[in-house]
Structure 1
Amino acid sequence: MHEDYEYAGMKILIVEDTPENITVLRKVLERLELSVSIALDGETALTSAPEIDPDLILLNVGLPGIEGFEVCSRFKKDATFKKIPGTFLTAMTDTESMVKGFALGGIDYIAKPYNHLEKYG
C-alpha cells in the first residue's frame, strides 16, 4: 500500500503502558507499513531495545517503574542508542517538561490524548 514511502519497514519501539494508546499508535504506524514493537514499561524497553534495534523510540513520560525521562537519559548514555531519535508521548506539555525532555535528547513531543490520530488508524 505504501511501498513508495521511504520509511516503510522502519522499526518503531513504542514504550507505553495504556492499552488504548497502544492501539491507536499501532494502527497508525502499521498502516504506514512500519514495524511496531511494544514495551509496557521502561525496564522492558531498556532490555528489549538491543534485540529490536529500533529506528525510532516513542516514549511515554508517565511510565510505571522507571519513568520516561529516565529511560530516555539511559538510552542517550548508551553508545548503541545515542543517535536513535526519541519522541515523548505525554499529556505534560508545560514548558518545563518539554525543556527537560529536549535537554535529555528527545526530538519531539506527541501530546495526549491521541484523538487527532485516530482518524489515521
Structure 2
Amino acid sequence: MKIKDVSEKFQISPDTLRYYEKIGLIQDVPRDKNGIRDYTEENCHTISFIKCMRAASVSIDGLSRYMELLQQGDATHAARRQILVDERNHLESRMKDMQDALQHLNWKIKMYDEGKF
C-alpha cells in the first residue's frame, strides 16, 4: 500500500507515518523502483498496534522501548509484557478518573435541570 492509502486507512497523516518510520516505530518499509514507500501487511499490523497504543496515551518513548525489545526477540518477552501491563494499569487509572468526572458532570447537569444550582 502506498503512503496515501495507509494514511487514509488508519487516519494518520503521511507526515506522522514518515516520523514513525524515522524514529524506528515502523521498520523495514519497502520501496518501489521509484523510491516510493510500499507498506506491507506486516507494516500495517504495526501501524494498527501503534495507533491503538497512542489512543491509550502510550508515549512515543514507551512505544519506542517496546519496539526495541520486540526486535531483540523472545528473550525480551517478560519485559515487553511488563510494559503492556504498566500501560494497562495507567489506562485503567485514567479511565476511573474520567468516569468520576463524568459522574460529577452528570450530577451537576441534574442540579441545573432541577433548578438546584
Please report the TM-score for the alignment, with normalisation by the length of structure 2.
Answer: 0.25
Larger-Rg structure? 2
Please report the TM-score for the alignment, with normalisation by the length of structure 1.
Answer: 0.25
